[in-house]
Amino acid sequence: MLMGEKQRKEHPILFSLMLGIVLTLIVAIASAVATILESHDRGIMMAQGIAFLVMAIIITFYMRKRDASLGIFGFKGMNMSQAKAVLYYVPLLVIVMVQPIIGGLNTSLSVIDIVIILFFSLLVGYTEESIFRGILRERLRPKGAAFFIVFSSLFFGILHMANAFNGSGFLHIFLQVVNALLIGFILALIIEATNSIFPLILFHFLFDALAQLTSNSILEKEVLAVSILNILYLLYGIYLVYILLKRKRTAIHATGHISQ
């Protein structure tokens, strides 16, 4: 037990990489099996959902073992002053609504389809946020907040870049890659600013669910939608970086004043 804990602390980057890769492999294997069985879109999503469920159970046991309260992973109540610092998460609500507003909702989906999408999105939101903004943050804490923000956002973006190559054209690929990197960057900044993972799980759930509930007509306006999202990510990211740097300067000044 002690040796295992020591090894994880000595190799936090390797541990983090392994965790992200395992999640990606499990989901990829589930997708491959569903495809081989010639499952339709609903069947593939259900197979991926099972993979995320398995991973969610594994990481929950891991986190509970590390801290029964899960507090060190960000599972704690929201502080209103911290929420104010990130503009009460209003920019996230705006981001969530971009795709359904531009493309409209898919009214042809059945009740079963909607239930599957909602359950799948909840599993994805919980699992990915717990890993990338919860466990990775706790493992990489000794290396500092800046390292965590850069590493986790790059890693999150890289693992989601496969979606970028489903389309054609340099502009499409470029915008999707930037989108994958920026969203990871924004979420990492927010967890550092608030120390609460609940709003991120809710955002991730709503973003994925509404994206899948959006009409297929969004594909014709994809460049517009992704461009708007990237601009919003960039503006919000600049603001969050400013807030974190301001907080750091205040802490340094306070410490310097006390030491004097």
User: Is the pLDDT assigned to residue 258 strictly greater than 90?
Assistant: no
pLDDT of residue 260: 41
pLDDT of residue 8: 45
For 95-104, the pLDDT digits (tens) are 999 999 999 9
Query: Which one has a higher pLDDT value, 41 or 19?
Result: 19
pLDDT of residue 259: 41
For the chain, the domain total comes to 1
Query: Which one has a higher pLDDT value, 243 or 5?
Result: 243
Pairwise CA distance, residues 180 & 189, whole Å: 15
For 29-76, the pLDDT digits (tens) are 999 999 999 888 889 999 999 999 999 999 999 999 999 999 999 999
Per the structure, the complete domain to which residue 57 belongs is given by 2-259
Q: Give me the long-range contacts of 217-222 (CB less than 8 A, separation at least 24).
A: 217/103, 217/104, 218/99, 218/102, 218/103, 218/104, 221/102, 221/103, 222/167, 222/172
Maximal C-alpha separation, the chain:
71
pLDDT of residue 97: 97
- Tell me the average pLDDT of the chain: 90
pTM of the model: 0.91
User: Is the pLDDT assigned to residue 107 strictly greater than 80?
Assistant: yes
